Each structure stands twice: as structure tokens, then as C-alpha cells.
Amino acid sequence: MVHLEPRPAPHRPAGPVDPDWWRGAAIYQIYPRSFQDSNNDGIGDLAGIIHRLEHVAKLGVDAIWISPFFRSPMLDFGYDVSDYRDVDPMFGSLGDFDALIDRAHGLGLKVLIDLVMSHTSDQHPWFKESRSSRDNARADWYVWADAKPDGSPPNNWLSIFGGSAWEWDGERMQYYLHNFLTQQPDLNFHCAAVQEEMLRISRYWLDRGVDGFRLDTVNFYFHDRQLRDNPPLAPEDRNENTAPAVNPYNFQDHLYDKTQPENIGFLRRLRAVMDDYPGTTSVGEVGESQRGTQVQAEYTAGDDLLHMCYDFDFLSNVYPSGGQVAQVLERYMRIVTEGWACWAYSNHDVVRHTTRWGLGDAAARAYAGLLMSIRGSVCLYQGEELGLGEAYVAYEDLQDPYGKRFWPKFKGRDGCRTPMPWSADAAHGGFTEAHPWLPVAMEHLGHAVSKQERDPGSMLQFYRAMLGFRQAHAALRKGGMTIVAAKDDAISFVRDHDGEEVFCAFNLSDKPQDVALPDGDWTIDRGAPFRVEETAGGLRLPAWQAVFALRRTDET
């Protein structure tokens, strides 16, 4: 495969670059297969993203994160990479990617790409060479181990996609490690050459103009050299942050197959590369159910590691009551004293949050406002701004191997990956004129962009207004945070930055609640897309509403 050399980074600002833009940024995740199809093959592509970028820019976010578009057999839909330096033909070409960068930067949007470093496809030339013998140039680029004397795998490690994390290879006569599909062999980061190549790949895309990386499974890069067994995990300590309950992966305490101390050194090397490109950023996905917050603290400590970590607490099935939200935030602020969080409710791997938590329209708005008011950056998943729920996908239409493996108790990830509904009146919601790779959910057509654009009270208009309100207040984007009160059906806190304080209170229930402002000279800001009533006794929040009040602390 011939790769085009990266062009000089397009549309880089000529003046000073704000190195801190990512702190408090709103990032919009695009799943390219399902965003917009431009050539009517039923699969979204880079040209389709370009066509719809104005929608994203008008939303008021700061950046986009594009899920993988590299060459791939697509067994895990791009997370099984066979060529890190090229675009898969189903998504377009490198020229299309360059045009996407140009267009995004022209609209004021930063571009983050999803870099999958922990594993490749088994169709990658590296793996084909590695498995060919035990003494070739890339023999140690993957994690190989001999069988036990009885022929069984080297240890008890499990795959997130079910079964053993080891697969026997009859050509090399050894097992290889795969934390995900058997067709996704794990790279061996204990090999110096692997680290060097991954750093070169990072530079390749930075030279092409990307503004940073979302780092897939960032804590999976290294494994325990001694291949020690993971200990069992007590049933009461199991949770579903990394894998669904039906998967025995949750039965282990994953001490040795991931999150190894050597990872810190590699992350420092990666940050050093990124520091050569001012204004770039990194978001690490930490898949760690037992020690996730502590790992985030370690990975974001100081200014020479990751910029932020992608938190899983609000991606779980646990309903985010006011008390639960306060508990998560207080734990994070107590443990992660130097780092910065990136919060999300939905993404391409979990049931959409409106369905997961059973939220109606009013509740979804309240929780969206809460997400955009807490301390940290935020990720919004495509369609979230439309209020989309999880789509039903019949078994015969399933594409996700994860869902096929554990059906029907776990239906996989296809329900959150169905195509975006752009037009209520067009075939397949305006996503494509061909048969789409996943069916467009009929229930989503009523939420189509075309309908919500015309409705001033729509969810789309709410998201635009709330993102604009967040953008107008530096305290909401970059400030500190102090929780004032929290209970199951309400939470309030103060955000503060550079002499500005914003008091935020949320009624997380279907009944009106009274709320008291903290002591001091506060002014209610009615620019937020919520309603508050003033009564003789103070303030009253109708069901699922919020209030924001301001004061300056630097005025005499």
C-alpha cells in the first residue's frame, strides 16, 4: 500500500494557539458508518461527514471525535486495524480526510481521531509476519506464549468479547493474546520497536492536521510479563462498567492483563510527541471497573501524561440520582487532584442513556443541562442532541459480533449505532438512498433534524441553547466546583473561575421543589434554557428544571 505523505497542517492558526482549549470543551462523537452516506452504498463515509459538519458547528461544540476510519476487515467495525496510515475505501480516501480537516477547521472545529493502539487486525501485515515463525523481524511484536503442558492456555485471562483471551495458532504453535475478538491480536508494548512505530503513527496523523486523539482502551497497552493469573472477584464487587453482566469477564479482578505500571512511561513518550504540536490534546479511554478513578489520577497527573481521561461512571446502568452524581464527582475531585475529566452519558458502546435510565423528554433535558454544568469536558454522541433512544434491531439485522455472542440477554451495540435521522420525509431518514448497513429506526424519524430545526421548543434547539450558555460562562467550562447539596431528586453546586461564580441547582424529579440561593449577592441568569419561578418564600423549580445564579467575587 502506497501512502500519501502528510501535507503541512491545514488551517493552523497563524497566531498564538490556546493550549488549554480542551479544558471544558464540548466534543461531538461521530460514528462514521452511521452519520451520512455520500455515495449510496448504505455506509456512512468521510464525505458524508463533511456534508453534515455545519450541523455540528451550529450545535456549538468545540471539536469532533471521529471513530476509526482506517483500513480494516471491519469485524469490529474499524477497531480491528489492518493499516494505520490509510483510510478504508468504504470511508473514502486520504484526500477525503484532508478535505474533512480543512472543512472542520474552517468551521472552527477541532478534530480528534480514535487511535487504536492496543491491538490490530489479524490481517495486518505485522501480525502475518509475526505468526510466520518465532525468529522473524516482528516475532515479538505481539503477545505470544507457549501452551501449558496439558495444551491449555498460558493463564486464566478472559476476553471482553467472551471466552479465553488466548487463541491457539497452529502455524507458530503458540497462543496469542487477544483482549477482544480472536481476530484482534494484542500488540506487545514491552517490545521497543512497537512503541517506536506507534509514536511514528501518532506523528503521521498530527502532521496531517489532527488536533489530538481519543485513545481507545488506553490502559490495555501493557500486560504482565510473568503472565500471572487474575484473582477472582467477589460477586458483590462486580460491576458492568467494562463488560455486561452476562459476561464472565466480570468474575475476575483484572490485575495482570491490563493497567500495568509500564504504561506510564509510554504515555509520557506519547505526550512528548504531542507537545511538539501546540494546541493538541489526548483523551484516554480507561476500561477499568475496580480502580478506574485511581487509574485516571495516575494517567493525568502533572503536565507530561494524558490531558484527560474518558470517564465511565455515567456510561453505566446505575441511575444518576442527585446523590449518585454527587458521590461520583466528590470521589473524582478527591482522588484526581491534578487531572481533568471528560464525561459522557452515551457513546457507540452502550445503550443510549435516555433508554438506559428511562428518561422522558423533560428529564433528558435536565440531565443534559447537568452534564454541561459539572466540572470537566463533555462528549456528546451523535443523535444525543435529538433525544434519540436505543433502537430496536432484530436478530436477523444484527451486525455486532458482541451481540450475536450473548443474544438475547445482551443485544450488543447495534441499537446505539443505527443511522442518524436527518429528514423525516426522505427514504431511510436522509442517511442514504440505498439499503443501510443497519436499519433506520422508525421511531427515530419523529426526531429527525429536519423536524427539530423548525420547532423552537425541540431537543435540538435546547442543546444549542445550553451549549451556548455554557460557552458564555468560563466558570462552567474551566472552573472549580463545590457541591452545595445533594439528594436523590436534586443537586446543587457552585462553579467558580477568575472572579465569577455560578450557582447551579437541578430539580431531578417530576414535582416542583423550592431552592435557596447560597448567602451572598446573587443574580438569576435567565439565559439558560430552563424555567424558575420566584415566590414570596424564594425560588421554586418546576419539575425537571434548573436555575443558574451569578455573582462576582472580585468586585469591591
Residue pLDDT, tens place only, 496-513 = 999 999 999 999 999 999
The residue extents of the domains of the chain are 26-117+192-411+457-470, 480-552
Q: Grid coordinates 452515551 are at which residue?
A: 346
* pLDDT range class, residue 554, cuts 50, 70, 90: confident
Tell me which amino acid residue 457 is.
G
Handedness of CA 330, 336, 337, 342 (dihedral sign): negative
* Threshold 0.85, pTM exceeds: yes
pLDDT attached to residue 511: 98
pLDDT attached to residue 290: 84
pLDDT attached to residue 556: 46
The residue count of the chain comes to 556
CATH class of 480-552: mainly beta
Measured CA to CA, the distance from residue 219 to residue 215 in angstroms comes to: 9
Lookup: cell for 327: 458521590
Per-residue pLDDT at 373 exceeds 60? yes
Q: Which of 166, 174, 168, 167 is nearest to 133 (CA)?
A: 174
Lookup: cell for 437: 448497513
- CATH level 3 topology of 26-117+192-411+457-470: TIM Barrel (3.20.20)
State the catalytic residues: 216, 288
